[in-house]
Amino acid sequence: MSHAHRPQAPRHRRLRRLLGGVLLLALAGFAAAWLDYRRHWVSTDDAYVTGHLLTLSARTAGTVVEVHVENSQSVKAGDPLVRLDGTRARFAWEEAQAQLGDTVRRIAALYSDVDKYRHAIEARQATLRRLQHDLERYRGAAAEDAIPRQQLQNTEDQIRETEASIQQAQAELAGVHALTDGTEIASHPAVLKSAANLRKAFLEYSRRLIVAPADGYVAKRKVQVGDEVHEGSPLLAIVPLEEVWVEANLRERDLGRVRSGQPAEVSVDMPGHSHIYQGRVEGIHPGTGSLFALLPPENTSGNFIHITERVPVRIALAPEELRRYPLRQGLSTITRIRVGDGERPLLASDVTARHPANRTAVYDREGLEAERQIDEIIRRNARPRPTSTASR
């Protein structure tokens, strides 16, 4: 029995040696591949999809009377989202219109007073010249006792009275000039002040309607019909998904060779989503995550524990891939960056603010209607300035 098994012993040893050699080669190959990977790639699973988040707040106080959207609904820039009751704001707006009209009429009357006082001065100066001429004649006649001395005295009194009335009219004219010189009705300070009040009242009235500042999807809607909101009260958020990116939180020891412009690969940690996104490093944050935390570390207190910090790295994704395979903000990803020696500085950044979510034009027109009303009120209530000889 033992003689029958002896020939198989060398065969088993050779098989074990062969398997051991294959295993060593596999381990060596794996180690070489791993070293090569570590030399050319930096990876992390502490990476998330993020993007713009537009939080909308009430721009004036009021009661919510209409809510036009629900969570996850798609909206376009300028679409109405929430409407507030505007009764009190409308009353204030109408009062401001009336106040502007009254101010324009009062200022127009001031400009008319300029000509009125000029004409009064001219008339009194003519009267003064006539009285002075009469006085000369009366003095000659009084010397010959042709007229009573009382008539001469009355003429002298009338001259003094006329001179005083001319001085009074000149003082009143100077006061009007102080209020009108260097301005027109539309540019008068009182009119400008009333016009500013009208603009403010109109904006309060128009801002009862909250519109979408950019294209996106509704999220975090917490406003309900009947809510009493104040200026600055949060209502909902708009999430634009046309541009999202990945924030990969790399360990500080992995940042040495990471530079802007390096290619990256991103896979989403979501079942059934096997697409690998091709990305590019856009920039590296100027500080670690703990530095910008709500309670930043206070290492000088003595309770220091050395912890490997992480620095957010922004990875841009191709727009065409996002259109074909859309992502949601907050998704977990596995991100790896192909690193190299690189010649770009460590702090170089390719991040820009050209995305439409960084600007909006939906509020540019809200003051145009107020300007149109101001021009109309001034035109309707301002009488044309006289162009008489006295005003010239």
Residue range 205-220, pLDDT digits in tens: 988 999 999 999 999 9
- Segment among 165-174, 194-203, 281-290 with least mean pLDDT: 165-174
More confident residue, 58 or 297: 58
Q: What is the pLDDT at residue 267? A: 92
How much of the chain exceeds pLDDT 90, in percent?
A: 30
Provide the pLDDT for residue 315: 95
- Residue (of 210, 284, 343, 243) closest to 42 by Cα position: 284
Backbone torsions φ then ψ of 317, nearest 5 degrees: -110, 150
Q: Which residue has the higher pLDDT, 185 or 236?
A: 236
Regarding beta strands 54-57 and 228-229, do their DSSP bridges make them parallel or antiparallel, or are they unpaired?
unpaired
pLDDT at 47 over 50: yes
Tell me the percentage of the chain whose pLDDT exceeds 70: 78
Pick 260 or 26 by higher pLDDT. Answer: 260
The residues pairing with 255 across neighbouring beta strands, listed in sequence order, are none
90: enclosing H helix or E strand: helix 87-143
The SS3 of residue 245 is: strand
Average pLDDT of 254-281?
86
User: In one letter, which amino acid is 186?
Assistant: A
pLDDT band at 96 (very low <50, low <70, confident <90, very high): very high
Tokens representing residue 189 in the block: 């300070």
DSSP H or E run through 82: strand 80-84
pLDDT at 293 over 90: no
The predicted structure's pLDDT at residue 391: 39
What is the model's pTM? 0.68
Q: How confident is the model at residue 118, as a pLDDT? A: 74
Say how many C-beta atoms besides its own lie within 10 A of residue 283's C-beta: 19
Instruction: State which amino acid sits at residue 329.
Output: Q
**Mean per-residue pLDDT for 361-379?**
85
Kindly tell me if the per-residue pLDDT of 386 is higher than 60: no
Q: Is 250 helix (H, G, I), strand (E, B) or coil?
A: strand
**Cα separation of 15 and 9, whole Å?**
10
Residue 156, H or E segment: helix 149-180
Q: What's the average model confidence in pLDDT over 298-309? A: 70
Which residues does 343 contact at the CB level (< 8 Å), separation at least 6? none
Structure tokens at 95: 């009062």
Question: Is residue 4 scored above 60 in pLDDT?
Answer: no
Instruction: Flag the least confident range among 137-141, 240-244, 351-355, 385-389.
Output: 385-389
Q: How far apart are CA 33 and CA 38, in angstroms?
A: 8
DSSP state of 205: H
Query: Who wins on pLDDT, 385 or 338?
Result: 338
Residue 236's Cβ-count burial label (10 Å; 0-12, 13-18, 19+) is: buried
* Sheet with strand 74-75: strands edge to edge: 54-57, 234-239, 216-219, 74-75
Local confidence band at 152 (pLDDT 50, 70, 90 cut-offs): low
State how far Cα 46 lies from the chain centre. 33
Task: For residues 53-71, give the mean pLDDT.
Answer: 93
**Confidence label for 281 from pLDDT (cuts 50, 70 and 90):** very high
Tokens of 287: 């500080």
- DSSP letter at 343? S
Which pLDDT band holds residue 333 (cuts at 50, 70, 90)? very high
In this structure, which amino acid lies at residue 131? Answer: L
Res. 8: pLDDT tops 70: no
User: Token match 């009377």: residue?
Assistant: 65
Mean pLDDT (whole number) for 282-289: 85
Question: Tell me, what's the pLDDT at 55?
Answer: 93
Is it true that domain 54-85+205-239 has CATH number 2.60.40.10?
Answer: no
- Provide the mean pLDDT of the chain: 80
Give the pLDDT mean for 310-322. Answer: 91
Q: Do the beta carbons of residue 95 and residue 201 sit within 8 Å? A: yes
What's the CA gap between 326 and 323, in Å, rounded?
6
105 contacts 185 by C-beta, under 8 angstroms: no
Please list the residues that pair with 97 across neighbouring strands: none
**Contacts of 269 by beta carbon, 8 Å cutoff, 6+ apart:** 45, 331, 332, 333, 334
The reported pLDDT for the residue numbered 190 is 82
Domain ranges of the chain: 54-85+205-239, 88-194+367-381
pLDDT in tens, 176-189: 665 565 667 777 77
